[in-house]
Amino acid sequence: MLARGWCDAWNRRDIDAIMAHYADNVEFNSPTIVHRWGNADGWIRGKARLRANFEIGVKASNLRFDLIDVLLGVGTICIIYRRETGTLVSDIVELNAEGLGSRVLSCYSRVRK
């Protein structure tokens, strides 16, 4: 399953395996972009920029993604997982014709459990 392999890649901190899930022209939106890069709109574009962002993310202490559920849409999946911090995250991923993430919207819970 795509989502399980993606979570596993994060848990192994395997940046190449993580990046294998994304298209070269990926667009990524997340609260982490605002925090890490100061982009007020939360967007970064392109695989190289996304890799640089994820290279910071894999350094999180006690990094852990626990897959909760996967919701299926038309050309879209929604991966719901819990971070090592207890934060609940939902990544809505639009897939291209090759099944790679081309546009991602990442939403984080405010309450940490």
Please report, in tens digits, the pLDDT of each residue of the chain (113 residues total).
689 999 999 999 999 999 999 999 999 999 999 989 999 999 999 999 999 999 999 998 899 999 999 999 999 999 999 999 999 999 999 999 999 999 999 999 985 54
Res 2: pLDDT: 82
Q: Do residues 4 and 12 lie in contact, with contact meaning Cβ atoms separated by under 8 Å? A: no
CB-based contacts of 83: which residues, under 8 Å, 6+ apart? 64, 65, 89
Res 24: pLDDT: 97
Res 86: pLDDT: 92
Residue written as token pair 């852990």: 64
Res 112: pLDDT: 53
CATH of 2-108, picked from 3.10.450.50, 3.40.50.300, 3.90.320.10, 2.40.70.10, is 3.10.450.50
Res 110: pLDDT: 80
Phi, psi of 45 (to 5 degrees): -135, 140
